Structure 1
């Protein structure tokens, strides 16, 4: 890679190329970032300190909040600086590290969401064997697999992207180092690398999505068999928050990573990235707290007991 790469420094554009919108967008995203970090830390603290929340669902939710915190911190601070000053330099190793961290965290979230779907499926379809099936050891194993798979998947994508030669231009028309804008800058034919990336992404994403869909098919089939309307609603409400997270995650992520580089639009890429890298981590805590009585009670208790 060293012999082929002439570019050693990239320039990040930030959120907007319009000088009039730079400070406004930076201020807005700074507030969103601080709110998201506070909300996700609150979720983690509430789950850790409240013994009523020491269940598999909240165990995975705590890791999901950790992933969201790390994901936003990987991209947003540098993006805020790039937006405020117009552009910011990022070295090739730093760019590769940022891409690795972001893809790793996104992949880990994908596996965690799948594990949460499996958890909800067992809770509704096999309630009598749920405690034994979703033991502490099982939850820990699923989490280790999620993080380990994320690392492996990210290693492939980072190597696949940065094995391309970059000889100029070096301006990334994006607010962080992401796969589509980087491949767009490569000064060699990236078709083979793009095909390899699509194959790996498609395999992982479709496998996780298929397992999630199968879990919800089983959940729906079980709920339909419940005679009481109140019972049906109670059963389905236990997974409604997770279903909203699934739709948000796959809906925003697929729009960015499942299109050819030749059709890549910098503006559309930035807009899609705002949704899957900023709004999704911000909305996840709201989704899991607004309609969840246990979580709302735990958060209320957490803030009432906090030292003034």
Structure 2
């Protein structure tokens, strides 16, 4: 573990540092609270062992600052207090400390506290990892591996706010696999799932790093194109439709004989400041127009 020790008493600081290093941990040392806070921000230690009374930021203030800043990773805090000072112990725990050690410091006692700290910080790290995995799963379509509508809602809200603030354009392209119901009827749902994965991979392969590709539902996909004009989005989607045709996925239920894609594009501009839901509606209406015009084509929202 990475352990930060903060104490303005040089002798106590030396003892604590030696105990930490003998326990096999990396030690950072600070002679006052302000230095301790700076080291904490720079190194994000797993454990902080801090004296109560120090120049600058005292131990209680340091505890509160650490707890206010923490997100997923947890810092285990041990407060150093005077012998028999029960009020200090309670105040330290209320400020966010996990444990305490009385002074003069006993290296064995600190070693024991560090063993507990290792267990607790490992547990918190595991929980943070599982939370991250679950969060990713909740925002990922299990069939295609694309982001799903929950992630789309979050990303689109941020993009829309940024575009309004900085007067930037963006486009939405709603895509739909043509005659997909008949494809499933003819070739089966397993083949349909494989086809959706191939289409998804093709769309991702055409997208810029800044673009987002989402499974909107069923055989529908949505492509989000930041800093893109409607004409630029049309060129992008024409190229994407070409790539889907080049997959040469046989579809005897489609007039083209191949699996194809239709798309409708809407645009957010300074002259057309609709909210995100309205833009989705416009893209969907343009997609409907592409279907009505014969499929396998791109239509722009007017």
TM-score normalised by the chain length of structure 1: 0.27
> RCO (CA 8 Å, sep 6+): is it higher in 1 or 2?
1
Higher relative strand content = 2
Higher relative helix content = 1
TM-score normalised by the chain length of structure 2: 0.27
